[in-house]
Amino acid sequence: MTPPVFWVDEVPRAGESVTVTGPEGRHAVTVTRIKAGAPVILGDGRGTRADGTVTGIDGKDRFTVRAGRVEFQARPTPLVTVVQALPKSDRADLAVDLMTEAGVDEIVPWQAARSIARWSGSRAAKGVDKWRTVAATAAKQARRPWIPQVHELSTTIGVRDLCARVHADGGVVALLHEEGAVPFRSIDFTEAAEVVLVIGPEGGLTDEEIADLTALGGRSVVLGPEVLRTAAAGAVALGALGAVTDRWSR
């Protein structure tokens, strides 16, 4: 069984020790019931990881780890950003969890026209914080060296700017839509340094949103014959992308 992963602010160098505290320390000591001598993996969520051994337990929320082998893993290419229109609250966590496990690099929450969920003020801040927590937990579960970056809530203007910039830089912008103009598999992703996948809410993208983002270089695409729920679409698209690019070469 693979040793458990714990996030730390900075991974120590080989032979050095670090004390893990806070939520990570509390979970390890009180939930996982970790013991001295147990093997663990330490990660900073930015590509660096170390094999380690627990050398001591201090109270209910602290334990010390001595680092062994340390390695850095670069992000896979192309870099993939998922623009996820806000789903219903019960599906938002699932969407973030699945796309994180499937390898997304960045997530942009989007207040789309048909989003039933409405974020503003403190609710937007709490929603983004929740998505970041879910992403960190899912990355740990998937043994990922990178935690996806979850951006602040975006308006359609922000999504327009992102899509226009990526297209201008030679990247690919794919608008996932059940009536997409071309199949996902027909797009050549191999030369792109960056890919943006735009996913609508439960009601899908509006005609106006598709026309707007298409005018900025986006392409309306269909993944397959099945109509996917918004919570699953990102993960399925990332899986398809991994199979046709070098993202799954390791």
232 alpha carbon, distance to own chain's centre:
13
Q: What is the pLDDT of residues 19-78, one digit of tens each?
A: 999 999 999 999 989 999 999 999 999 999 999 999 999 888 999 999 999 999 999 999
Are residues 156 and 108 located together in one domain of the fold?
yes
In this prediction, residue 215 carries a pLDDT of 96
Mean pLDDT calculated for residue range 153-158 = 96
Region label for 25, one of left (φ > 0), alpha (ψ between -120 and 50) or beta (otherwise): alpha
Are residues 26 and 115 located together in one domain of the fold?
no
Residue 163 CB coordination number (10 Å): 24
Round the average pLDDT of the chain to a whole number and report it: 93
d(CA 104, CA 17): 31
CB distance 28 to 63 below 8 Å: yes
Are residues 103 and 220 located together in one domain of the fold?
yes
More confident residue, 248 or 155: 155
| Residue 203, domain member (yes or no) | yes
Domains in the chain, number: 2
In this prediction, residue 248 carries a pLDDT of 79
Instruction: State the pTM of this model.
Output: 0.93
More confident residue, 154 or 228: 154
Are residues 215 and 116 located together in one domain of the fold?
yes
Q: What is the pLDDT of residues 198-242, one digit of tens each?
A: 999 988 999 999 999 999 999 999 988 887 889 999 999 999 999
- Domain of residue 95: give its range: 79-244
Which DSSP string corresponds to the chain?
A: -PPPEEE-SSPPPTT-EEEE-HHHHHIIIIIS---TT-EEEEE-SBSEEEEEEEEEE-TTS-EEEEEEEEEE-PPPSSEEEEEEE---HHHHHHHHHHHHHTT-SEEEEE--TT-SS---THHHHHHHHHHHHHHHHHHHHTT-SBPPEEPPPB-HHHHHHHHHHHHHTT-EEEEE-TT-SEEGGGS--TT-SEEEEEE--TT---HHHHHHHHHTT-EEEE--SS---HHHHHHHHHHHHHHHSGGG--
Last residue of a domain, one of 33, 57, 72: 72
CATH at 101:
3.40.1280.10
Are residues 83 and 179 located together in one domain of the fold?
yes
Last residue of a domain, one of 72, 90, 125: 72
Mean pLDDT calculated for residue range 126-137 = 96
Mean pLDDT calculated for residue range 82-91 = 90
| Residue 197, domain member (yes or no) | yes
Are residues 113 and 161 located together in one domain of the fold?
yes
Last residue of a domain, one of 72, 90, 108: 72
